[in-house]
Structure 1
Amino acid sequence: MKLQPDRLDVQSILAYGTGWVGLGNNGVAEKIDYSVVIGSRGEKLPWNCQRFEQLTAEHFALLADMKPELVIFGSGTRLRFPPPAFLRGLMDQRIGLETMDTLAACRTYNILAGEGRHVVAALLIDPDAI
């Protein structure tokens, strides 16, 4: 049997740790140390919040505007759920949201993106967590 290395044709998270993620596509890697939204269709934009307490409904409305199948919300170093009122835009469009700590969100994003799903990961990266 000939083994081949895994190779994703989509933007993927190549590495991660407390306070950073390594984002890559086509062999090019970039270390990101700020909250970010990434998508399996190549989307990458800063998510203007550093801490869970700074989140607003507008942060989640941005995700709904991207129209993914599913949003993976990485809530930081520990599991925290956003208030249901923040999720109205996602619910109105029947877009699912899964909440987990940011490191688990990185792993889950890679699996779903590798399956060809249109998934968006919204990752809180707290610079003080290092």
Structure 2
Amino acid sequence: MFKWGSRSKPDRAEIGLAGEDAALAHLQRAGLALLERNYRVGAGPARRAGEVDLIMRAADGTLVFVEVRARAGMSHGGAAASVTTRKQQRLIYAAQHYLLRHACPPPCRFDVVALDGDQLTWLQGAFDTG
């Protein structure tokens, strides 16, 4: 299995999984608790309307919807720049769907964990629904 930072050339799925594993470990060390991983909304696996990589709960009760982006380097603006407006809309849609299970939704935020090579950057409150 691919480990982040190894020298072998991984495929896209391996990069994504390793990035999510690294992000999850980082967020858990920071005190967040995992609620869901790879929460998907849509009609079948090929037609996803939205997906959230990680849904976490912060110590203050805030629900944190996390998008994880991993890139080998900083070309094309890096990992954080790849979270486009369209991707944000799909994350918001999935988050709204997830929140339907709460009679009184808690405070929420959208974070991005960007991995550029071996550098991890956690962008808290990276975007909002407005």
> Normalising to structure 1: TM-score of the pair?
0.28
Normalized per residue, the structure richer in strand is 2
Ranked by relative contact order (alpha carbons within 8 Å, sequence separation 6 or more), the top structure is 1
